[in-house]
Structure 1
Amino acid sequence: MRAFLTHAHPATFTTLRPDGTPHVTPVRFTFDAGAGLARVTTRAGARKARNVLAAGPAARVALCQADGFRWITLEGRAAVTDDAARVAEAVRRYTVRYRTPPPAPPDLVVIEIALDRVLHLDLPEPKAM
């Protein structure tokens, strides 16, 4: 499972709009097994960031990475931060995974997802996160 999450595949990122309808967008993300976090960098004004902010501490999101019929979905509570150290760590991890830095708009933020559920198909059973 962890090896699959190091491959440079994009994922779909699902948030909920304030009216409760899903917003799904392709993203690149990083997985930090030690911290139990997934991270998505984006602009502060992006719909996905605004959806997480609007939901507040109850914001739940899902990331789904697929390769053919192999897939993994990571779910958890999300928060948006512009903390310089957290953004820098997200950029560092993104650069390692995708071998190029992410876009760097002036309003760059990171959505941190505290993972609490993992679903998958055709991958080994996950060990404790």
Structure 2
Amino acid sequence: MNRTATELPVGTRAFLARPRTATLTTLRPDGTPHVTPVRFTFDASTGLARVTTRAGARKARNVAAGGPTAPVALCQEDGFRWVTLEGRAAVTDDPESLAEAVRRYTARYRAAPPAPPDLVAIEIAVERILSLNL
């Protein structure tokens, strides 16, 4: 199913609120995919997903190399149920954006994320939501 954030059914919103790990797919500079497990948050009201990480992490470097609208996909699954959030991403180290990312992460996972000195947030403007069995 292909939806936008404002069209999400209650069941899909609840599935995305569960404290699970997802995979984040970014593109390396040579165009090949890089897939890594991540914890993330999603604000359906704004259509913004966030992943905290180190600035030097491959996923952050891939997004930064892709420019301010790097294509990415986040996929959370549970057996034969899954939701994929596709959109454009940017890396930020803005203190207010980081504080919001940490606040949302802590609320979702009931623990603060790692706090390396080079902490950044990958902010994903979700353009499409695909799902199965929700």
TM-score norm. by structure 1 comes to 0.94
Matches for 1:37-116 after TM superposition, within 5 Å: 37-116=48-127
Residue pair 2:63, 2:89 contacting (<8 A) in 1 also: yes
Give the whole-Å Cα distance in 1 for the aligned partners of 2:47 and 2:112.
22
Q: Which runs of 5+ in 2 are unaligned?
A: 1-11
1:16-47 CA-partner distances (Å, limit 9, x unpaired): 00000000000000001121100000000000
Q: Which runs of 5+ in 1 are unaligned?
A: 124-129
1:77-106 CA-partner distances (Å, limit 9, x unpaired): 000000000000000000000000000000
Name the counterpart of 1:126: none
Give the whole-Å Cα distance in 2 for the aligned partners of 1:7 and 1:68.
14
Give the whole-Å Cα distance in 2 for the aligned partners of 1:86 and 1:64.
23
Alignment of 1:35 with 2:50, yes or no, is: no
Name the counterpart of 1:127: none
Query: % of aligned pairs identical?
Result: 77
Secondary structure of residue in 2 paired with 1:56: coil
Name the counterpart of 1:15: 26
TM-score norm. by structure 2 comes to 0.90
CA RMSD between the two structures: 0.6
